[in-house]
Structure 1
Amino acid sequence: MPTTLPVPIEFSLPDDWRAAPPDEVGASDAAFVALHPHPDSGFTANITIDGDFMADGTTLEELADASAVRVRAMAETAEVVGRRAIGSPGAPGLTQRLTLSAVVAGVHRDLVQTQVYMTLQDTGDPHRRAMIRTVLTATAAQHDSVLGDFQDFLRTVRPDTKAAD
């Protein structure tokens, strides 16, 4: 069963990307999955969204470190090749890029994963912080060509204030 997000969000998919049921594409830990229309050598670039409430004192760097550990456990190799803070003091965020080699559906793949962590205040309890993680996974060869779509997508992600009504 797909994960639910800790706070409602809204967004717009890039042209031609399509939503897919997380369970049907093997991403049951995601709340949302979008697939690129043109696979690269049999691998479909994808965007996933998940999230949770952050425990008091937890930093985005700690969450990104934990994510890198999970990726390393599933991959043959994985390396964090970039990380930087984004956002503002009131709404901090973090981006992290990993390169990895993994066997996917029986085929060895060189992949790149760009992870973006955003924090949002819980509208029901302003003392609680929610973290939304949005991840682009693509082959190393295709990553740079779909990165612009991912960045366009990220610009549309925001709290869904209508859902709170």
Structure 2
Amino acid sequence: MPATLPTPIEFRLPEGWLPARSEESDAACVAFAAVHPQPDAGFAANITIDGEAVQDPVTLTDLADESAERLREVAESVVVAHRREVGTADAPALTQRLTFSAVVNGTHRDLVQSQVYLSLPDVGESHKHAVIRLTLTASASQHDDVLGDFQGFVRTVRPDAPAGA
């Protein structure tokens, strides 16, 4: 069963990308996954969405550090190649790019993961917020080709307004 996001969001997939079947993704950890229709040497670039509710003083940097550490548990040569805080004081965000090597379906691959962390305030409790993580994972050779699709996808993500609001 897929994970549940701490707050509802809406988004639009890039043209041609397909929702992943649950057996293609680690459905227990993500709320949504999509795959690129043209795999690179057998590895399909993918976009995943997950999230969690956090309380102050947890920062986006803390969460990005935790993500890199979790990846180090299952991959080799994990490097934080880039990290930048973006957004505004009211809507902070963080981007990071990780490079790593991993065995996927029996084949050793050099991969790149671009992550975007979006912080959404809890209107009921100011010391709480939801963090949504958007992730693109692609082969090192295909990453730059699909990065524009991912950036376009990120621009479509927004809180889902309740009906009648």
In 1, Cα distance between the equivalents of 2:3 and 2:131? 13
- The AA in structure 2 aligned to 1:101 is S
Partner of residue 159, structure 1? 159
In structure 2, list runs of 5 or more residues that go unmatched. Answer: none
Aligned-residue offset at 1:160: 0.3
Moved over 4 A (4+): none
Identity %: 58
Preserved contact between residue 9 and residue 158 of structure 1 (Cα < 8 Å): yes
Partner of residue 25, structure 2? 26
Map 1:12-161 → 2, pairs under 5 A:
12-21=12-21, 23-28=22-27, 29-123=29-123, 125-127=124-126, 128-161=128-161
Preserved contact between residue 96 and residue 116 of structure 2 (Cα < 8 Å): yes
- The AA in structure 1 aligned to 2:120 is L
- The AA in structure 2 aligned to 1:38 is Q
Preserved contact between residue 17 and residue 34 of structure 1 (Cα < 8 Å): yes
State the Cα RMSD in Å: 1.3
Partner deviation per Cα, 1:62-86 (whole Å, 9 max, x = no partner): 0000000001111022110100001
> Any idea what SS the aligned residue of 1:74 has?
coil
In 1, Cα distance between the equivalents of 2:163 and 2:102? 38
Aligned-residue offset at 1:136: 0.2
Aligned-residue offset at 1:126: 4.2
In 1, Cα distance between the equivalents of 2:46 and 2:68? 18
> Any idea what SS the aligned residue of 1:34 has?
strand
> Any idea what SS the aligned residue of 1:141 has?
coil
Preserved contact between residue 120 and residue 130 of structure 1 (Cα < 8 Å): yes
> Any idea what SS the aligned residue of 1:65 has?
helix
Change (3 A) 1:16 1:155: same
Q: How many residues align?
A: 163
- The AA in structure 1 aligned to 2:121 is Q
> Any idea what SS the aligned residue of 2:73 has?
helix
Partner deviation per Cα, 1:79-100 (whole Å, 9 max, x = no partner): 1010000100000000010000
TM-score, length of structure 2 as denominator length: 0.95
Change (3 A) 1:98 1:15: same
- The AA in structure 2 aligned to 1:2 is P
Aligned-residue offset at 1:108: 0.3
Map 1:3-14 → 2, pairs under 5 A:
3-14=3-14
Aligned-residue offset at 1:164: 8.2
